[in-house]
Amino acid sequence: MFLTDSQKNYYTAMKKLGRKKPQKVIRRPQHQYHAIFYDIAVSRRDLFIFALNSLQQLSLSPRFEISIFVLIFLNMVSMAIEHHHQSRTVSFTLEVFNALFTTIFGLEAIVKIIGLRHHYFTVPWNLFDFILVFASITGILLQDVLTNFPISPTLLRVVRVFRIGRILRLIKPTVNGKNSFFGQAAKGIRKLLFALIVSLPALFNIGALLFLITFIYAIIGMAVFGHVRRRGALDDLVNFETFGSSMMLLFRLITSAGWNDVLDPLMTQPPHCDPDYRMQPNGDCGHPVIAIAFFVSFIIINFMIVINMYIAVILENFNQAHKEEEIGIVEDDLEMFYVRWSKYDPHATQFINFNQLSDFIASLDSPFSIPKPNTVALVSFDLPIAKGDKIHCLDILHALTKHVLGHVEETEEFKRI
């Protein structure tokens, strides 16, 4: 398919548009006390530190976001300090910190549940927080009970390690449509994560191929080297005597680490072995030529070819993500568009009134923003108007995309796609 650069850019931007849609705004409760908790849950003020992870309206203040990072970092440090044979003072201090952090995050969850009601559980990040809080509280309550059983209560607190995932919020754009303080600084990390996620299907296929090759070599290794005398690197764990041990050994050798140490005992010849051992062909001796061919081919295929395919796939998708960023429209821009759209279309009808269009376009950030006076530009968009002087969000996005990318030649081949 032959497309010009402008047509390719427009086609790539159109694919992104299909992945986004307007979101309903969680309306403020009418009940007085519920409304108070709702205001706290979406508050932008530093005073409410326990609402600092609210997904509804994160603060734009760098100081507020730094307070989030500090709290998460301290939680990580308190878990990292714990060690075997620690003193009672250290244990008591860590238990106090654990209770403190659990209380803070527990209060955050309670405030957000009361304020946001059932909408709280519609956000995946909120479910993640709720599970962490529930596991932490359960661990504290059952800590004394489990001391009478051969199960360490630390196992229940291990789940708190996943709270480190909260840091991911610092590298994504905030829901108000602008990049956060850490999000702007970590824009490259977001690009890497996007490339990794896009690469997962291909990485799975490469992993299946890697498993198949290793499976075949494990069967061959059992047949050829299963009888070799244990010496050198060969022991109870490292050998080709069973399928399980063969797979584990080859899985370790995929990284090419220590393959020469395993190769040496597989080349054993008399007098270091018995060629008549148990009346088997070649006894417990090795096969030098077969061993060399086996390991050289295995390392070349798996380590030098298949493993490098992982790197090639990720780099290819990273380059693709970089090219899409150079187009001028990225995922953050679409997120910003729909967040601003929700202020004019709180019920997510996907339509706004024509008389709201000028204010809406002016409220957007670059590259979609067209500051007032923008009447002439909006008229040139030639937007289709539905019944009741309504305009659809996708029509506006298409027009803005063409405005950003410039003229796109609509050839017959381009129209077919």
Query: In the beta sheet, which residues pair with residue 353?
Result: 390
Which are the contacts of 24, defined by CB distance < 8 A and separation ≥ 6? 342, 346, 347, 348
Mean pLDDT score, 160-181? 53
User: For position 38, what pLDDT does the model report?
Assistant: 57
Of 224, 302, 216, the residue nearest 263 (C-alpha): 224
Cα 295 versus chain centre, distance: 36
Which segment, 11-20, 100-109, 198-207, is predicted with the most confidence on average? Answer: 198-207
Q: What are 255-314's pLDDT values in tens digits?
A: 888 888 888 888 888 887 887 777 777 778 888 899 999 999 999 998 888 888 988 998
Residues 133 and 105: beta-carbon distance below 8 Å? yes
User: For position 44, what pLDDT does the model report?
Assistant: 39
Whole-angstrom distance, CA of residue 417 vs CA of residue 413: 7
Whole-angstrom distance, CA of residue 134 vs CA of residue 137: 5
Question: Would you say the pTM of this structure is higher than 0.75?
Answer: no
Mean pLDDT of the chain: 75
User: For position 297, what pLDDT does the model report?
Assistant: 94
Domains present along the chain, CATH in parentheses:
25-184 (1.20.120.350), 195-327 (1.10.287.70)
Q: What are 207-228's pLDDT values in tens digits?
A: 999 999 999 999 999 988 888 8
Q: What are 25-42's pLDDT values in tens digits?
A: 556 566 655 555 555 555
- Is the predicted pLDDT of residue 73 greater than 80, yes or no? no
Calculated CA dihedral for residues 257, 261, 262, 267, nearest 10 degrees:
140
* Cα Rg of the chain, angstroms: 30
Mean pLDDT score, 174-188? 53
Q: How confident is the model at residue 22 (pLDDT cuts 50, 70, 90)?
A: low
Q: What are 318-345's pLDDT values in tens digits?
A: 887 777 666 667 777 777 888 788 788 8
